[in-house]
Amino acid sequence: MIPITIHRRNALQWLQFGLMELFRVLRAFFSGAGSRELSVTRYVEANATVGDPESVIETMDEYALKHRFLMNVGEEKGEVLVNALQGEGPTRCLELGAYCGYSAVLIGKEIALKGGSLTSLELSPKNAEMARRVVDHAGLTPCVDIRVGSAKEQIPMLEGTFDVVFIDHWKDDYLPDLRRLETLGLLSPGARIVADNVGIFENTLSEYLEYVRTAEHMESTHYATRMEYSDSIEDGVEVSIWSPPARLELT
């Protein structure tokens, strides 16, 4: 099964995107550029200003537009995530899926001056290493903790509660991992759950979207956006405000 949601109105855009990426993959292969994760990390270290999170974000965006597509939250959807971080809080944030550290820098930049912290869970040791290097280049290591392992394994080891959770990992795990956070008491009252890619993976995430949109203890808002680094492919972000329910069971 193709995980992305393809229909008549976006099939041409996906075809164009696929052909462009194929060209970029071949170009990177024949130039010996290595993996895009290592390549963008080196690009950041060579071009972004040390200790400047905004410069790091801009440099990663530049790389994704000029060299290889990156599965970052990107500028447009990043604004939705940043808006969820506004106000006096939050102080404690959780990220499921660090990838190369883009969203960790975006979140860290917003919460660093508040004395906040981000815990980021990344399945891939290689991606976690790249994310740490990017976060360190941005000067945000003191407030960002990137841990290696699946969310299923790592979530039971977390302590305290989180004010914002950004979900951007394996799509089939969105709902099970949200339920784990709920059942283990790891969400603060009023916690904001920000889920990326709910447009391009609408079919895969149908159960997650049904849950956050119909559960009595959730107040959910959909933000229609474009996919990162695309002017034409539709995507979306779902922001859900969580309240403690009367009872929860792990499923």
CATH topology of domain 73-242: Rossmann fold (3.40.50)
Q: Which of 37, 122, 163, 196 is catalytic?
A: 196
Active site residue 77: no
- Rounded to whole angstroms, the Cα distance separating 152 from 147 reads 13
Amino acid at 31: S
Active site residue 168: yes
**Given this model, what pLDDT does residue 2 score?**
47
Q: Which of 61, 95, 168, 182 is catalytic?
A: 168
**Given this model, what pLDDT does residue 109 score?**
96
Residue pointed to by tokens 């790249």? 130
Q: Which of 171, 177, 182, 238 is catalytic?
A: 171
pTM for this predicted structure: 0.88
Nearest in space to 40 (alpha carbons), one of 21, 25, 59: 59
**Going residue by residue through the chain (251 aa), what tens digit of pLDDT does each one get?**
346 665 556 666 656 666 667 656 666 666 666 688 999 999 999 999 999 999 999 999 999 999 888 999 999 999 999 999 987 766 899 999 999 999 999 999 999 988 999 999 999 999 999 999 999 999 999 999 999 999 999 999 999 999 999 999 999 999 999 999 999 999 999 999 999 999 999 999 999 999 999 999 999 999 999 999 988 888 999 999 999 876 555 44
Q: Which of 122, 173, 197, 235 is catalytic?
A: 197
Active site residue 109: no
Domain boundaries, the chain: 73-242
